[in-house]
A and B are shown apart, each in its own frame.
Chain A
Amino acid sequence: MSNWISHCTAGTSSIRTLLALLLLLIGAGVARADAAQTFVFAGKTLPVAHVATVGGKLAISVRDPGLAQLLRATGASMTWNPGERYVLFTTAEPQIVSFAVGDARYDVGPRSAQAGFAPYEMSGTVYVPFDELLSALYLAPKRDGDAIVIQPQLAAFDVRGNGSESVLVARAGIPLKPRIVEESASQLVYAFDGVGTTLDRSRAIRAEGIRAITFAQSGTVRAPVTTVTIALAPGTGHGRLETDDRNGFSLAIGGAAASEPVAVATPEPTAAAAATPGPQATPAPANAVATVTGIDAHAGPNGYSVDIAVAGDATYDWHRLRDPDNRFWIDIHGAALSAPIGDVVGSDPVDAVRVRQLDATTVRVALSLAGQKRLDVQPSADGVKVSVYSEDAGDDVARAGTGALGNASAVAVAPTPVPSGDAWKFGARSTYVATNPRLIVIDPGHGGSDPGAGRGGLREADLALDMAKRLRDILVARGWQVVLTRTADVDVYKPNDTARDELQARDDIANNAGARMLVSIHVNSFINAGPRGTTTYYSKPSDVALAQAVQASAAGVLGTKDDGIVKSHLYVTLHATMPAVLVETAFISNPDDLAKLTSPDWLQKLALEIADGVKKYAGAPPAPGQSANQ
C-alpha cells in the first residue's frame, strides 16, 4: 500500500490530487482519521487532532496543534507554507529533518532514509510519517494502555578525544536535567528523569580513562529514568557534567585522549573547510611576481607624497597629461595588489588618489592634481615615491618616465601609450570634495533609548561616548574641527525612533556639514565570550583607505587582537557621502576585552591610535581659510 502511494504521488500533481480524492473516498481503509487516539507527552495529554494511518503507520498533519506543542517542548521548529512541497524541521541539535510531498525519502542531517510512506497533501495540509519524525527528534512512541506515550530518548552518544582528555557528548529529545547519583574515584553515575533510552545497555569504550559505560532504564513508560554509569580507570579525574540548550550534555574525563572517536551514534556532517575566497580578495595573478602591499598617501610640508610599497621586482612607467587635464598615473608592471585599496581623498595639491589592478600584471596608481604642479617620481627603500609639490611646474615639464624596482631589469621599459579621452577617470565616489576639509565628524554609537550592547552594568552607548570625547580632544589639539553626533546619552533623532532614522540623523550631520570623514565608534558583542579584538568596518570603496589606516593604528592597542578590516553593508557608512568607518573597538562579551574597556588608560591609548590612523590617512588638517565653509 505504502509503495503504491509513493509511486503514484511521485507522478504529476493531478495524480496527487486524484489520489487525495481517492483517499478521501475510500477513507477509513487507507488513511483513517484516528482522532480517538490519546497522545501523552511529559505527563500531559497532547492536543493531537489530525492524525491518520497509512498502511498501519501513523501520519500527522503539519498543522496539528499537538505537533506544534511537541516541537516547542523539544526546542525544534518547522518551516512549511500551504501549497509547498517541502516540510523542514530544525531540531535543537541542530539538524534539519527534510520531508517532501510524494517522496518517501527523508533526510535527517546528512543521512537519508526511506519512510514507511511518502508525505501526502490532503485538505490543504501535508501529512508526514509520524514515527520517523519522532525518531529524528529523539522521541519514541510507547504504548501504555490505550494511550501512546511520546517518550524522550537519550540518544546520539559519542566519545571524543580532544587532545588531552575524553569528552562524552550525548543528546536527547528534551533539555536534560541530570541528577548526580555518585561521583567517586571508580565510577560516575548520573540519572536523567523523564528520559528513556534505546542505547545498548553497555559498551566497551576504548577511550583512555574510561573502562565502560552502562545505560539502564527504570521507572515507568510515563515516568522513565535513564541511569548512565561510567566506570573509570584508576587515577582518572573528571570535569563537571555540563548541559547545553541543545538538549545535550557533555562531560570531560581526564587522562590521555581517546585515540579515535568511538561509539559515534550521529555522524557529523563533514564541515569541509572549503573556504571560498571573499569577493574582496584580489588574488595575485600567477604571472605577477611583485606585490603592491600598500599605499601611504599623505600631506607633507612642501606638498603631498604617495609612497607605493612594492615587494619584489617590478618596473614602472608614469605619465601626466597637460593642463587643464591635470591627471598623473604610474603603472607598476609585473605586480598585483595584495588587497584592494580604495580611493583616497587627498589634500592640496592632490585632490584624490586611486589605486587599482589595471590588468593581470599591472597596478595603476592615479592622482588627480589641483593644477599643473611640479612632481617627481623616485624609487624608494620600500617601492616608489611620488612627490607632488605645491608650486606650479613650468611648461617644459616632463610628461612621462620609467624606472625599475628591486632586481628588475633596468632596461628601459617602453611607456604604455597614453590612454585617449576618458579611458581613465575618477569615478563619482572619489570626486567627493569636503566643503569643510578641516571637519571630522565622530559618531558615538547608540545612545538614549538604545543602549547598544551591555555587560554587567557597562553599556556600549556610554563607552562609545567616552572614547569619542577622548578622540575629539586629541583631534582638536591637532588642529581639526570635530563635531560629535551626540555629546550625551541621548537619541540623535528622537527617543524610541527606528534604527534607520537614528543612523540617518548621524549621517545627516556629517553630510550637511561637508565633513572630511565620519568615524563611528562602537563596542562589539557576541552570544559567547569567544570573539575578541578590534575590527574596522567599511562599506564603500572610498572608505577603504581610511579603514586600513585606522585599523593599522588602532588594532593591537595594549594587546588587543587585530581582527582586520571587514567590508559590510552597514547603514551608517553606506549613507555617509564622505569616507566613513565604523570602529568596533573591542568585545564587551569577552572578559579580556571587557577588562580593557574598563581601563581609562586603554580607552585613552585607543583614542590616540585612532587619531594617529586619521593622521596617517589625511595628514595634518588643512590650514584654516582653505575652505569657504569655515
Chain B
Amino acid sequence: MKRTLMLAVILIAVAAGSWWFLSHRNPNTVGDTLDIYYTKASDGTSEVSWPVSMRPMQSGETSAEHTHNAALYAAVQTVAGPPADVQAVRFPAGTRVLGVTVAGPTATVDLSSDVERQSGGTFGENGEFKSLVFTLTAIRGIDAVAVLVDGKKLDTLPGGHVELDQPLHRGDF
C-alpha cells in the first residue's frame, strides 16, 4: 500500500515534470514562419505578405532572444524585399539593417544612411516604412517600430515626409 502510494506520487511528479518541460521547452513566441510584407508598386500602399520560414528556437536560446532574432531576420528580409521580379516599393539600393533591438512592445530598427537616398516622393517613404511596420508588428509581442539611421534618431529623413521621431504603428498607415 505504501509502495503504491509512493509509485503514484512518483508518477504524478513525472507527469508534472514532463508537462512543465514540454510547455516551457519551446515558448513559441514566434511561429515557424514569419510574414514579410512589402507594399505594391502599383499603388504604393497595398500591403502583401509572403511567408519566410524561421529557424526553430534553439536550445539555450531564451524567448526574448528568439523574438529579437525573429525581428532581426524579419527586418533584414523586409529591407531586402521580395524577389527582384516582384513590383514592390523597395528601400533605396544598398540600404542595410545595422541592427535591431526589442524593448517591450517596440522594435527599434537601425538602418544604414543609404535609406536617405530616396527618390523624392511620399510614395517610396510611405511604402518602405509601412512594410517594415507591418512585418515587425506581425511578430507576437511587437506592436510598434522605431527607426534609427546610422544609430541616430531622426525627426524625418532629409527632405522627407514621414515623421520618424515617434515609434510607428500599423494604425499610422
Contacts and interface: CB of A to CB of B under 8 A. Distances in A.
B173 A568 contact: yes
Interface string B124-145: 1010011000100000000000
B163 A574 contact: yes
A333 interface: no
Contact of B65 (A12, A85, A245, A527): A85
B92 to A, nearest CB: 7
Contacts of A574: 163
Given A88-B73, A110-B53, A571 B84 contact: no
B72 A571 contact: no
Contact of A570 (B69, B77, B98, B122): B122
A587 B121 contact: yes
Interface residues of A, number: 80
B104 interface: no
Contacts of A531: 41-44, 123
Contacts of A584: 121-123
A532 to B, nearest CB: 10
Contacts of A568: 122, 126, 130, 161-162, 172-173
Interface in A564-600: 564, 566-572, 574-575, 582, 584, 587-589
A209 to B, nearest CB: 20
Which of B73, B76, B94, B172 has the most chain A CB within a 10 Å cutoff?
B76
A36 B130 CA distance: 48
A96 interface: yes
Nearest to A271: B50
Given A268-B83, A275-B48, A499 B160 contact: yes
Contact of B124 (A90, A246, A269, A526): A526
Given A10-B59, A88-B76, A569-B168, A526 B48 contact: no
Which of A248, A452, A526, A575 has the most chain B CB within a 10 Å cutoff?
A526
A462 interface: no
B120 A86 contact: no
Contacts, number: 218
A249 interface: no
Interface in B60-88: 60-61, 65, 69, 72-73, 76-77, 79-87
A569 B173 contact: yes
Interface stretch (A51-59, A97-105, A300-308, A381-389): A97-105
Interface in A318-339: none
Which of A15, A524, A566, A582 has the most chain B CB within a 10 Å cutoff?
A566
A90 B80 contact: yes
Interface in B10-56: 35, 37, 41-53, 55
B96 A79 contact: yes
Contacts of A273: 48
Interface in A592-613: none
A90 B96 contact: yes
Contacts of A246: 84
A503 B159 CA distance: 9
A192 to B, nearest CB: 19
Nearest to B82: A271
Ranked 8 nearest A-B pairs via Cβ:
A453-B120, A500-B155, A524-B121, A525-B121, A94-B80, A569-B172, A525-B120, A571-B163
24 contacts: A77-B96, A79-B96, A84-B69, A88-B76, A96-B76, A248-B84, A269-B52, A270-B51, A274-B35, A274-B49, A275-B48, A279-B173, A452-B120, A498-B158, A522-B121, A525-B119, A525-B121, A525-B123, A526-B124, A563-B43, A568-B161, A571-B160, A571-B163, A589-B121
Interface of B: 35, 37, 41-53, 55, 58-61, 65, 69, 72-73, 76-77, 79-87, 89-90, 92-94, 96-99, 119-124, 126, 129-130, 134, 155-163, 165, 168, 170-173
